[in-house]
Chains A and B, each alone.
Chain A
């Protein structure tokens, strides 16, 4: 790397480089309870969204 290039990037933190941020962060394993909670939240969001969309569509008719 040339001196000019080094000077150009000296203001970035090392983990800001595109090459660094392109590397995925390590995955964490959720506890069974945590996973169940997230799925419950997902089902809740889809169900309530469905209700809102159904009520909206029915109101249009």
Chain B
């Protein structure tokens, strides 16, 4: 990659998007030239933390808390960090491909391997994102219900957040607003401290509390994997890294960003797990009663823990709405081949912003339908993401190994070994659950 400053002076036509991105890059150049490492890191963090904390979304945090309430801490305390370590491997690849090629995942798959594969990937993403977004609005509603507020407030809050981040027509501004909101994911850690579970008992419960049914165990594994690595994260981090203007020189900082996101997400996820474990030995909580998880926590751990947990759910849902909608917008606009950047104004990138708001609005409409099976949708959102993830992962591994695109930044053997293991593990887990559920449903095997 050659710096424009040293290139021949035949510059391509300049757009507003170039000018805005260059202004952001000038600060990165100054920080690097001045050897101001912490400032440089501050300028370059964002996509990694947002992808990881965005995945600590409403359904994921409810799933962690429910796992803690039903099974204790034993299995999950090591399992969650391991999953986020695997998520780091996947997301680092997405960041690296975005920084080297300056292109999003959707457009690269479409251009490199053909339109059919690009559109398949975008369709998978749109379906899983729509279902997940419904689940995010459900999570906000569950959080708001603790404070006596209803679905309309949840819808208004979620959509207002999307519109608010649009103002300014700058990626930097969008990223910093969402990053500021995402740090409130730490509320789950505070909820854990306030709920004061008996850690000894919850830990020793461990494996003895695992579900007896194979299908329930598979559901547990599939939904927990789906709570840490999903297709939207790949689309988002690669698209956001390109949109931010990252280059191969920034890969090291991009790795720190992704690692910080993984550590924070694992910590906050464990917070939700520990808060949920306060209910262990108090009858636990069934999947259905997740609708009143904060209320149940309030009975056992007090109003403060419940309020903080409810606020955490509102935050987790809101941030995920912002990041997941953004990933849909990147995918849709990239595949159509039109402007796909937060550095463009809504007038210049109509489809991008329309897809961003439209998918969130569509999900919002669903939660207003009376009698819709919202909690069941929320619980199955992560499972469907797990089932569709292997396809996205295989294309990401192919792109990251493509020396024609990546040059010396292509994957190493060790990265490939871990990435292929993740794809195989996720595929096997999703398939096992899907096939077992189907066979049970048609009565071939007993539950």
Using a CB–CB distance below 8 Å, which chain A residues touch chain B? Answer: 1, 5-6, 8-22, 24-28, 30, 38, 41-42, 44-45, 48-49, 51-56, 58-60
Contacts and interface: CB of A to CB of B under 8 A. Distances in A.
Nearest to B15: A18
B36 interface: no
B179 to A, nearest CB: 22
Nearest to A47: B434
Given A52-B434, A56-B380, A16 B15 contact: no
B102 A21 contact: yes
A44 B384 CA distance: 13
The 5 closest A-B pairs by CB, nearest first: A19-B12, A51-B438, A55-B437, A11-B25, A48-B434
10 contacts: A9-B4, A9-B22, A10-B5, A12-B18, A13-B2, A16-B18, A19-B12, A25-B101, A25-B108, A51-B434
A8 B11 CA distance: 12
Given A9-B19, A51-B435, A52-B380, A20 B12 contact: yes
Contacts of B437: 51-52, 55
Contacts of B431: 44, 48
Q: Is the interface of A mostly helix, strand, loop or mixed?
A: helix
Nearest to B388: A45
Given A25-B103, A25-B111, A14 B19 contact: no
A30 to B, nearest CB: 7
B212 interface: no
Nearest to B24: A11
B39 interface: no
A13 B434 contact: no
Contacts of B402: 28
Contacts of A25: 101, 103, 108, 111-112, 405
Indicate the member of B18, B117, B124 with the most A CB atoms within 10 Å.
Answer: B18
B376 interface: yes
Contacts of A51: 434-435, 437-438
B247 A13 contact: yes
Contacts of B421: none
Q: Is the interface of B mostly helix, strand, loop or mixed?
A: helix
A39 B25 CA distance: 41
Interface residues of B, number: 62
Interface of B: 1-5, 7, 9, 11-15, 17-19, 21-23, 25-26, 28-29, 101-103, 107-108, 111-114, 117, 120, 124, 242, 245, 247, 337, 339, 373, 376, 380, 383-384, 387-388, 390-391, 394, 402, 404-405, 427, 430-431, 433-435, 437-438, 440-441
A1 B18 CA distance: 14
Contacts of A53: 384
Indicate the member of B245, B339, B434 with the most A CB atoms within 10 Å.
Answer: B434
Given A51-B435, A55-B437, A9 B11 contact: yes
Contacts of A24: 107, 111
A29 to B, nearest CB: 9
A13 B250 CA distance: 12
Given A21-B242, A22-B337, 10 more contacts: A1-B11, A11-B23, A13-B247, A16-B4, A17-B18, A26-B112, A49-B388, A49-B434, A52-B433, A55-B441
A60 B245 CA distance: 46
Contacts of B384: 49, 52-53
Contacts of B394: 38, 41
Nearest to A58: B441
Contacts of B21: 12, 16
Contacts of A60: 373, 376
A45 B391 contact: yes
Nearest to A49: B387
B4 A27 contact: no
B112 A15 contact: no
A20 B14 CA distance: 11
Contact of A28 (B373, B376, B404): B404
Contacts of A22: 337
A54 B438 contact: yes
